[in-house]
Structure 1
Amino acid sequence: MTDAALYFTAPETVEVREATVGPPADDELLVETRASAISAGTELLVYRDQTPADLPADEALDALDGDLSYPLRYGYAASGVVREVGAEVDSEWVGRSVFAFVPHQTRFRATPDSVVALPPETTPAAGSLLPSVETATNIVLDAAPRLGERVVVFGAGVIGLCVVRLLADFPLESLVVVDPIERRRTLAAALGADRTTTPAELGAVDLAGESAVGGADLAVELSGQPSALDDAIGVVGYDARIVVGSWYGTKREPIDLGGRFHRDRIDIVSSQVSTISPELRGRWDRDRRMEAALDRIDAIPAAELITHRIPFERAPEAYELLDSEPDAAVQVILEYS
């Protein structure tokens, strides 16, 4: 069987190239990929050459070695079926559906402890959304929403929508989602947002002269746009907190930290899925967080989030779509025949 892998070869250029996978080693599984999800955030930064070239691809994922300079294999959201096992691996793995943090390619080898066994009822496409659910789980853990709080989420991409779905289970006073794209706002409302609005409408006032969105206890920034930090500062109240889950890559914007940010003691913290918050490490590790994500993956309506399913051999079309028509796509999945 001839295998193939996706390579980022230059700005706005990806290629499907022949790859050699080979049989599993004694302690490995051989997995046939069925679906892999494209991250419209991180992967588009790589596609557009908006990442620091000397930055490691991801030191927490063994499958992503080297840095982010071209050419490179990238991607971290593959689900498939185990087809073969090595001599030291239990044969019951054969036929099981699994997830792995590996780049986009037709088959891959992995050890049992580096894959996640998916629930039998989880489809390959839904399984490929597991990293988004895990990232959303990490963001909510870092945000630590409290009873009766007013929360604003900036960005209703896939991560933002997963965060909204998780936050909707909390007894909040209000959950507001800010996104410029109507389709995403509609999805956010369906997933539990009490209200949605656009960035342009944030400064609007009601009949009493009050801001339409303001005095929030917590803001979660997931838009991927550095300028949204100014909007987040503008909507939170005194001693509030802002959790930034976006990775901006090399994108830069001037942020106004000279006004009420300082006097109002507003906290801005980052949330990154490669690590667990120091406040939680005594009780939480990556395995526990993954279990929490697995418990909630079926609560995420994959069929509604996945707007495009594109054959792997036509992968360049998927990136062109995400790059040029962001309003048209929410989650794009590569499917493997």
Structure 2
Amino acid sequence: MPEVVSFAAPYDVALVPCDPQPLVPGSVRLRTWYSGISAGTELTAYRGSNPYLTRTWDPERRLFVEGDPTFGYPVQGWGYSEVGEVVEVAADVGSPAVGQVVHGIWGHRSEAVVSAAAVRDRVWNADDAISGTFARVGSIALNAVLAAEAQLGDRVAVFGQGVIGLLATRLAVVSGAEVVAVDTVPERLEAARAMGAAEVVIASVDGGAGAAIRAWCDGGVDSAIELSGNDRALHEAVRSVVVDGTVVASGFYQGGAEHLRLGEEFHHNRVRIVASQIAGTPVRLGPRWDQPRLVRTFMEQVRRGRVDARSLVTDVVEAADVAAVFERLDRGDPSILQAVLRFPAASGTT
């Protein structure tokens, strides 16, 4: 019997049985090996703070409006960082083939039927399968770096050194920028150094990171990327950039923003704040860039060894123990960086 991670209610998550999906023309059946947890997004389902759970999303007007929630509990199939083996293909599918390992998005479930086209170009190395779980989070980080227009000779501040922040730090360094990394956790700043950060700043609950960054680079960084989802960090990012600088707001901000003050540095330094969200790439890049290109580009950096994604994995836990790992993430356990769920089909793999 297949199994899926299910959020039954806020703070109530478990691995539960589910019905098998039928194989249809043009599809393949996958057995999941590993599924990475993207803590920032997934904690919104765990805590019940995701706007889809409290309001109605109007896709035509692209507005959240009052009304019945767009979806409610139980929330199943959350997750977008999976790696698994092709175990069955429809009669009309030539590739991928049975036995190949692919990465993609099919949620925290032991088995899934997906379009063959969705994973045809995502065959991955079975000997380093766990690195395939970084495809989506890596593309989110790359999207933010592209939005920041980081290039050779630039100075870039990256606020939030969780998994996506660390990947953004590394990708900005690979792009030729000099990076200052900001976080509240010393161990994460050590990881940022390993990713190539030239300087690190320990963030305080009372602020001050913006001033520290300006002192380090004598006048401000060219751009700042905010990935923590904290409005105080977003305000400090605004304080850190040069006149006419760019701040990329890439975190998933929940609720209000009482610490973001737009009458101060934002106004007087003419700071540009741009949103970065994986549903779209920066407008200035036009049709040349899309989500598949983000994924291909990031995974090629992993394949070539320019980005060491595997080093960010701190916890590989059995999928049945999902409740325990979410409890640790919710209370902010500093020892967790990237947690990955392992399904039974991964037995004997790396």
- Which residue of 309, 331, 337 maps to 1:330? 337
| CA contact 1:219–1:232 (8 Å) conserved in 2 | yes
Tell me the distance in 1 between the aligned counterparts of 2:185 and 2:191.
Answer: 10
Match of 2:347 in 1: none
Q: What is the match of residue 21 of structure 1?
A: 20
Unaligned runs of 5+ in 1: 60-65
Contact (CA 8 Å) 2:6, 2:75: kept in 1 or not?
yes
Which residue is 1:166 aligned to?
171
Aligned residue for 2:50?
51
**2:61 paired with 1:93:** no
Residues of 1 paired with 2:71 and 2:307: CA distance? 30
Aligned to 2:11: 12
Whether 1:218 aligns to 2:223 is yes
Look up the SS of the partner of 1:211 in the other structure: helix
Look up the equivalent residue of 2:24 and give its one-letter code. A
Quick one: distance in 2 between partners of 1:185 and 1:320? 24
Q: Does 1:310 align with 2:314?
A: no
Q: Size of the alignment, in residue pairs?
A: 326
Question: Structure 2: where are the runs of 5+ without partners?
Answer: 61-68, 345-350
Deviation of residue 119 (structure 1)?
Answer: 3.0
SS in structure 2 of the partner of residue 233 of structure 1: helix
Which residue type is aligned with residue 182 of structure 1? P
Match of 1:268 in 2: 273
Alpha-carbon deviation of 1:332? 0.3
Shift of 1:301: 2.1
RMSD (CA atoms):
2.3
Compared with structure 1, are the counterparts of its residues 325 and 249 closer, same or farther at alpha carbon in structure 2 (3 Å cutoff)?
closer
Mean CA deviation greater in 44-53 or 210-219: 210-219
> Displacement, 1:93?
1.1
Residue 256 of structure 1: aligned partner: 261
- 1:70 is matched with 73
Q: Deviations over 1:125-176 (max 9, x none)?
A: 111111111111111111111332221110000000111111112333x310
In the alignment, residue 10 of structure 2 is paired with which amino acid?
Answer: P
Equivalent AA in structure 2 for residue 153 of structure 1? V
- Equivalent pairs: percent with the same residue? 31
Cα separation, 2, equivalents of 1:170 and 1:290 = 16
Q: How far has the Cα of 1:243 moved from its partner?
A: 0.4
Distance in 2 (alpha carbons) for counterparts of 1:153 and 1:277: 18
Alignment correspondent of 1:146: 151
The answer to whether the aligner puts 1:189 opposite 2:193 as a matched pair is: yes
1:123 alignment partner, SS class: helix
1:287 is displaced (CA, Å) by 2.5
Say which SS state the counterpart of residue 39 (structure 2) adopts: coil
Residue deviations 1:74-108, cap 9 Å, x none? 11111100001111112661011111212200000
CA distance in 2, matches of 1:121, 1:102: 18
TM-score normalised over the length of structure 2 = 0.87
- The one of 132, 144, 152 equivalent to 2:137 is 132
Within the candidate set 106, 113, 128, 2:117 is matched to 113
Q: Deviations over 1:249-268 (max 9, x none)?
A: 33543311111211211000
Aligned position for 2:327 = 320
Q: Which moved more, 1:83-92 or 1:103-112?
A: 83-92
User: CA offset at residue 290 of structure 1?
Assistant: 2.2
Q: Is the 8 A contact 2:96 2:116 kept in 1?
A: no
Q: How many Å separate the matches in 1 of 2:320 and 2:28?
A: 24
TM-score by length of 1: 0.90
Query: What is the deviation of 1:23?
Result: 4.3
Q: Distance in 2 between matches of 1:125 and 1:19?
A: 24
CA distance in 2, matches of 1:286, 1:204: 35
Please state whether the residue corresponding to 2:285 is helix, strand or coil: coil
Equivalent of 1:239, from 235, 244, 250? Answer: 244
Structure 1 position 31 matched with structure 2 position 35: no
How far 1:242 sits from its partner (Å)?
0.2
Asked if the contact 2:211–2:240 (Cα under 8 Å) also holds between the matched residues in 1, the reply is: no
SS of 2:181's partner is strand
Distance 1:227 1:203, change over 3 A: closer
Residues 45 and 75 in structure 2, CA contact (< 8 A), matched pair in contact too: no
Give the secondary structure class of the aligned counterpart of 2:187: helix
Once the two structures are overlaid, the 10-residue window that deviates more, 104-113 or 68-77, is 68-77
Change (3 A) 1:205 1:36: closer
How many angstroms does 1:202 deviate by?
2.5
- By how many angstroms is 1:314 displaced? 1.1
Structure 1 residues 204 and 229 mapped into 2: Cα distance closer, same or farther (>3 Å)?
Answer: closer
| CA contact 1:276–1:286 (8 Å) conserved in 2 | yes
